[in-house]
Structure 1
Amino acid sequence: MKIQNKIPKNDEHLHLNLIDNDWIPMKEPESVWTAIVLSIPFMLLNAIISIGIINVFSTISLSEFGLSSDSVSITINVGVIIWIFSLIILHELLHLLFIPNFIKSQKTFIGLTLFGGYVLTEEEISKSRYIVVTIAPFVIISIILPIVLSLIGILTPTIKILILLNAMASSVDILNVVLLVTQVPGKTILTNNGTKTYWKKTA
């Protein structure tokens, strides 16, 4: 595992080598901004799912977030910034934990950029594991966590906000899963060349 603040760039020589070895590149957004725009519908869907889960096991209202029909009260302090920063780290660590042998891997990268945190691996992993790696932060933080915390009575408004922020921030992850499921057949392995994803059928 390597820690660095720059996302690894696509290597043209590696691209040609992968193509020569029967790897097929996925059709993906050309830039981070394009991915963000395309993921907006999933941002709304993720938020609705998390709100629904919170509402089943606890309560959720606009007033908890400092909003009402006649006023808006939003307080941003150092504590809130620390919570958000911690959420970003937790989100990326959950991606990382599901990558096989990530500690020993020299092809797995983690870091922070202007767009937030990232985890990227150029190791070869199965399609099913790739999906697990991609959706783990959304499922654990925005679906399982509110259920657990509500059952033990510590699902506070601050945690609810963080859960919803994570749900919306996971929209690009869900977009990636949709692209993967619609393009890549079963019994395949995947790898990355920088941010570009490739797949190949297993024997």
Structure 2
Amino acid sequence: MKIVNKVPKSNPHLHLDLIKSGWIPMKEPKNVMSAILLSIPFMIVAAFISIGIINIFSSIALSDFGFTSDSISISINLGIIFLLVLLIILHELLHLIFIPHFIQSQKTYIGLTLFGGFVLTEEEISKSRYIFITIAPFMIISIIMPLLLGAFGLLTPTLKILIILNAMASSVDLLNLLLIIKQVPYHAILKNNGTNTYWKQRINGQVADENNIVMNKEV
């Protein structure tokens, strides 16, 4: 695992090698801003899902966000900033820990940018594992956590806000989930070259290549 301060760029030479080896590029947003814009509908849906789960146990009102009938009050203090940073770190760690052998991997990266945190791996990963890695933060923080906290009566206004913010921040993850489900066959593996994603079909547990069949390593 490597800690970096910017998202690794794709290698054009590796791109050609991957294409020659039978890897198929996914159709996906070309940059971060395009991904964010395309993920806005997922942001809305994810927020409503978390709000719906929270409402099972505890009401949620605009006053929890500082809105009242006659005024808007938003207070920002060091405690809130710390919790937001902690949320970003937790979100990315939940991506990271489900990547196979992430500690020993020299092709797995974690870091922070102006757009938030990121985790990226260039290891070969099965489709099912890739999907789990993609949606783990949303499922754990914005679905499972409010269910558990709500059952024990521990849903405070601050936690409600953080849970909903995480759901909204998971919108790009949900967009990626849809792209993977629509484009990648079930028995396939995925690999990244920077932010570009590729897939290759597996046949009877093996990876299909142009000229031969090679055994896929365990993922």
Smaller-chain TM-score bracket:
over 0.9
What per-residue deviation string (whole Å, max 9, x for no partner) do you get for residues 156-203 of structure 1?
A: 100110001000000000000001111111100000000000000012
Alignment partners' CA distance in 1, 2:127 and 2:58: 35
Counterpart residue number, 1:132:
132
Mapped partners of 2:113, 2:66: distance in 1: 30
Relative to the length of structure 1, the TM-score reads 0.98
Question: What is the aligned partner in structure 1 of residue 4 from structure 2?
Answer: 4
More helix by share: 1
Which residue of structure 2 lines up, in the alignment, with residue 95 of structure 1? Answer: 95
Counterpart position of 2:113: 113
> How much does 1:20 deviate?
0.5
**CA deviations over 1:13-48 (Å, ceiling 9, x no partner):** 100010010000000101100000000000000000
For the pair 1:159 / 2:148, whether they are aligned, the reply is no
The aligned runs of 1:1-203 (5 Å cut-off) are 1-203=1-203
Query: Which structure's CA Rg is the greater one?
Result: 2
Shift of 1:69: 2.4
Per-residue Cα deviation, 1:55-109 (whole angstroms, up to 9, x for no partner): 0122211112211222111111111000000000000000001111101111000
Letter of the 1:28 counterpart? E
TM-score w.r.t. structure 2 length?
Answer: 0.91
- 2:141 maps to a residue whose letter is I
Determine the C-alpha separation between the residues in 2 that align with 1:69 and 1:27: 45
Moved over 4 A (4+): none
Deviations 1:117-171 (A, max 9, x none): 0000000000010000000000000000011111222211001100010000000
The alignment partner of 1:202 has SS state of strand
Q: Percent identity?
A: 68
Structure 1 stretches lacking a partner, 5+ long: none
Letter paired with 2:3: I
Cα separation, 2, equivalents of 1:111 and 1:65: 29
